[in-house]
Structure 1
Amino acid sequence: MRRFLLNVLIILLFFSFQRILAQTDLITNISSPVGILLYQEQLYFAENLEGKILKIDINSDSATPIEVASGLSKPARLTLKDNYLYVSEFGGGKISKLNIGVEKPTVKTITSQLDRPDGLLIYNNYLYFTDYGTGILYKKNIENNSLPIIVIEGLKGPRDIKLYKNELYISESSKGVISKINLDNASQSYKVVISNIESCSGFLIRNDHLFVTQRYLNKILKININNLNTETILSNIKECVALEINQEETELYIASYADNKIIKYYDAKLSIEDKPFEKKLLLYPNPVQSQIQFKNLSNLTAYKLFNIQGQQISKGELLPKQTLNVNFLNPGLYFLKTESETFRFIKQ
């Protein structure tokens, strides 16, 4: 009877959730994290009030943060090019850079006399950055000492910026909108593409989906930029201000400014487009006791198997008409990921 009730509970959980939801604290007891950036399995983050840049190994269960630089004035967002980490110093009115390829990098100012610089990115040797205080989007050639050039004026509390398909997206926190501009268009006109996003701050875009933090609502939204379908994927994240995603697009890293920590959120289908009509490979039976079978498996297919905590259990390759033995698994919910599909199944 107890085993039966356990299986019923697992099945209910399976059909209640649309994707794997596993949220853990990557690191705690840090000071007011803002900008985060993932590079070569190292997560760089800015401690805003401490004026520091630190890094941590995302693959270690007990990694200690390593200090990269200190003495900055309220560092905010981060971006990277050729081993140079660019930092917006919100409190110092300037943007600096440092070479993370050396053991003790020197912080160098590349532009100053700004108000409150925030979001930044690099495109075609130009550093684009927002000034929250003046509502201006600037660009500056990083190959010389030229002064910044105004790209857009009149923005309302511009925060983060991201590049997607040659278009630069801007979160305007005071207006509650996401705007965009085509960087290859000489007219430099911009338009609002998503509105009614109160206190929008950090965001990122993958596969035509925008993930955006609502800082003072403590939520993270996922928005389809084509049809504007919107869903809340996380809530109760106190002052979530910045996001980063891993290369496999299965782990989302979230800076919680008020809780002084960085959260890791695992979702095996985090940014996969929902196009059921394109899905040809099928898995059955589900739930399964011992052997998984596949329909429409026509080629050699690599796979990875994950548990509900997002930990990889095994990997291998499947041949047409081959079955997968899962006798070794404990009862529970699991995820099988191929290059193009992610399947959820219950092991009884």
Structure 2
Amino acid sequence: MTKRREHRRTIGIAEAALDHLKTHELPATPRNFEFWYAYSAGFNRSLNRAVNAVLEAKGRITLDDVQRLHEVFLSSEHIGDRIEEIGGTASREIAALSEGIEQILAETAQYGAQLANTVAYLGSGASKGGSAAALHELIEATQRIEDRKRALEARLARSNAQFSALRTNIESIRYESICDPLTTLSVRRHFDLAIQRAVDEAGEQVVPLSLILTDIDHFKQFNDRYGHQTGDQVLRLVAQSAKQSIKSLDIACRYGGEEFAIILRDTTETQAVKVGERIRQAVMTRELVKRSTDEPLGHITISVGIATHRAGDTPQSMIERADACLYAAKRAGRNCVVSESMPIAGVARDVA
């Protein structure tokens, strides 16, 4: 996405956020603006569901609603608190295990000494009564060790269950941090890291790398006409088509509101064009139906731009060339795939 397009896109989101502030008569504070900006951008699906539920129930969002929902869905401390909680739980579990192990080691050492003393006592010609008493004490000590061992085994079983739950929690946090909740594709932050790694790898190992940028044609008009829920259905359709058309090592991301980026490792331009065509045709052939009314909505289309790695490329240079090809596809009438070597790309070949 070029700086000019990014400017237009973010200004549009900002204007929508201001409209919400005006509609609900809320102070235009940074916190309130952040709240409505996140809602208007549509990336935080959980936030949008919660806001829509309040709007459906009450018809408006109050300042108290903003503060409550901001704390739950947007606070930077939210994930941090969960990580801190996981760390604290793990520390307590490890401390309890260490204590149990130290106890059984101490008792085992004591038991070993008692066993040696008993053997020495029995070997010294102890009386029958003395031998019986010594053996009785040894049996009791053995039982204590056995009880301690069973207790430690039970503790280990509980700890394993606890650690399994912690692993699940960590995976959940990791998923939340890299996945868009609406489309389940990677988020922009993950794309930025992944494209940098892919470009570095392509430069160092001299392997092919291609980047696809797609944009849903006339999405704003579609969204305005049929509503956000149907718009979300369209976004999920495109995301599913992208995921089903790429290799396991490739990375599909939600790049902007209705824009998607796909990093194709070890993929030439020719191969990337075939992938782009598969996605385009998969989207175009699906007939949409409005779920609430079963009203047929027809078909949607996407435009696709493709850039392939060149010597000396940076992530930004690849993105700019793919974006230029995407614009060429739009200029050509939309619903088509344009790569750098195609004559239709025009100035796209000259974009740095």
TM superposition score category, shorter chain reference: under 0.3
TM-score (norm 1): 0.28
Which has the higher relative contact order, 1 or 2, with Cα contacts under 8 A spaced 6 or more apart? 2
TM-score (norm 2): 0.28
Larger proportion of helix: 2
Larger proportion of strand: 1
